[in-house]
Amino acid sequence: MMGVFDIALALLVLGVALMVVNAAETRAAVIAFIALGLLLALVWVRLGSVDVALTEAAIGGGATGILLLRACGRLRPSVSDTPQPGLGVRAAASALPTLLTIAIASVVLSPPTPAPSLAEAAAEALPDLGLGNPVTAVLLGYRALDTLLEKVVLLLALVGVWSLTSDGLWGGAPAELADGAAKPPLLLLARLLPPFGVVAGIYLVWAGADHPGGTFQGGAMLAGMWLLAMMAGLAAPPDTGNPRLRFALFVGPAAFLLVGFAGFLIADGFLAYPPGLAKPLIVAVEAALTLSIAVIIALMVAGPAMKAPR
């Protein structure tokens, strides 16, 4: 019976993806893309990766969707002199992705038996870290270096977005997200939903130790709630030069780096955890990271500074 569900979901995902590609205008494509993101979260659930499903729902439904909508609104209507490509060109262009899909499918659907997997080794060391969720153990334990570098990359991406502002406005505030029209239903949503959203975000981070969840999912949820408040006009985007904002941005990677270097003193090496202290350290790093991720994601969506600094 699950097979019926899976086939229906696969067909729906393909259909919506085709709608993204064939949409008449950019905004329609973005809306279909948001729907595609939410449907992909269902796909991840069926593939057994609930952590990734949470991330896809949080980012694809929330931050990415809003980011693309805002970008879409800033584009000039495209007037193109070149005609739409003909059917032959489109068929040729879709041949390569189709072949690629068939190749990947044939590899994935016929793995060598027994399929190579590190799952057992990963699960064995879980009690040493005090964690129950193998995904969190990989992210913050075995491959903590990758996670640290990813967070720094996030920060660099934000700096990249900020660098789009003009010279005189550096340090100022991004443009308002609200559109100036008072909308009582939006105000109601923005007042009632964030308390639940914030608790849900913190819960996702806390539960990530033993169940699916984690810093990215929780941070994305928190960012979504801040964005909702900004969209309703209840909060104005802060000055990008604000010192407290900048502190919130780097407290996460800084805490991670601090714990990493402390590993030289109290454990085996960089980012090594002393036995027994692993879980408290990981929880502390996660708390700092969640704050930073939430602020980074929200500011990336808010965009570069558009007003002079106050």
Partner 1 sequence: MAEFLAAAAAFVLACVGLALVRLLRGPTAADSMMAAQLLDTGGAAICLLLAASGGHEAIADVGLTFAVLAALAVAALSLRVRSPKPEGGKP
Partner 2 sequence: MSLLLDTATVLLVLAGAFFFLAGTVGLLRFPDALSRLHALTKADTLGLGLIVLGLLPQMGSLPAALKLVLAWLLVQLASAGASQLIARLIHAGDANGPRS
Residues lying near partner 2 in the complex (CB under 8 A) are found at 25, 27-28, 31, 72-73, 183-186, 188-189, 192-193, 196
In the bound state with partner 1, the residue whose beta carbon lies nearer, of 22 and 101, is 22
Shortest Cβ 230–partner 2 spacing (Å): 16
Give the shortest CB-203-to-partner 2 separation in angstroms.
10
Distance between CA 246 and CA 113 in Å, rounded? 51
Q: Does residue 140 belong to the site contacting partner 1 (CB under 8 A)?
A: no
Tokens encoding 21: 């590609």
Contacts by 23-31, CB closer than 8 A, 24 or more apart:
26/72, 26/75, 26/78, 27/69, 27/72, 27/73, 30/65, 30/68, 30/69, 30/72
Selected binder of partner 1 within 14, 47, 72, 106 (CB under 8 A): 72
Using CB under 8 A, which residues numbered 156 to 195 contact partner 1?
165-169, 175-179, 181, 183, 186, 189-190, 193
52 contacts which partner out of partner 2, partner 1, none, CB within 5 to 8 A by kind? Answer: none
* Residues of span 194-223 touching partner 1 by CB under 8 A: 196-197, 200, 204, 207, 211-213, 217, 221
Q: Which stretch binds partner 1 (CB under 8 A): 28-36, 89-97, 108-116, 257-265?
A: 28-36
Report how far residue 281's alpha carbon sits from residue 139's, in angstroms, rounded to the nearest whole number.
14
Residue type, 108: V
From the list partner 1, partner 2, none, pick the one residue 202 interacts with, judged by a Cβ distance below 5 to 8 Å according to partner type. none
Site for partner 1 in 237-296 (CB under 8 A): none
188, interface contact from partner 1, partner 2, none, CB < 5-8 Å by kind: partner 2
- SS3 of residue 244 by DSSP: helix
- 200 within 8 A of 223, measured Cβ to Cβ: no
Closest approach of Cβ 28 to partner 2, in Å? Answer: 6
**Shortest Cβ distance from residue 226 to partner 2 (Å)?**
17
CB of 278 to partner 2, least distance (A): 26
Which of 232, 255, 259, 285 forms a contact with partner 1 (CB under 8 A)?
232
Rounded CA separation 256/273 (Å)? 12
Eight-class DSSP state of 167: G
What are the residue ranges of helices labelled H in the chain? 2-22, 26-46, 50-58, 64-74, 87-109, 119-124, 126-129, 134-137, 144-162, 184-207, 215-231, 243-266, 278-302
Cα–Cα dist 12/31, whole Å = 15
Q: Smaller CB distance to partner 2: residue 25 or 268?
A: 25
Three-class SS state of 174:
strand
CB of residue 188 vs partner 2: minimum separation in angstroms? Answer: 6
